[in-house]
Amino acid sequence: CRARPNLRVHLAGVRNYEVMAEDGTIDYSVHEAWNEATNVYLLVILVSFGLLIYARKNKRKIMRIFSVPPATETLPGNNFYDNIQKVRLRQQLEMYYISRKYDQQQNQNSADSTQLLME
C-alpha cells in the first residue's frame, strides 16, 4: 500500500484544513461543510427566483404596500375653522326648517280661524 501525502487546503489565510486524516483516510468534514454551504446558496437562489416571479405577477399589490399616501398639508387652524363653518351651516339649516314649520303652522291656524269665522 502506497502512503499518501497529507493534503492541506488553505482557506483565506485563517486555518489549514486537512483533507486526509492522520491514519490515511479521507476527512470528509470539509466536503460536508462545503456541501451544506452550497445547499444553502442554492436554496437562497431558488427562493430569490421564486420571489422575483411572484413580484412580476403581483407588482400592483406590492407597489400598493410600499406606496406612501399623498401628503395632505392641512393646517390644524384651517380644519378647525372648516368644522366651525359646517356646524354653523347645519345650525342655519335647522333654524330654516324650524321657521318653515312654524310658518306653515301659522298659516294653517289662520286658515282654521277664518273657516271658523265664516261658519
Q: Are 88 and 81 in contact (CB under 8 A)?
A: no
What is the pLDDT, as a whole number, of residue 115?
65
Instruction: Taking residues 19-45, report their average pLDDT.
Output: 79
What are the tens digits of pLDDT across the range 42-72?
999 999 999 999 999 998 888 888 887 776 6
Indicate the pTM of the whole model.
Answer: 0.34
Using the 8-state DSSP alphabet, how is residue 20 labeled? B
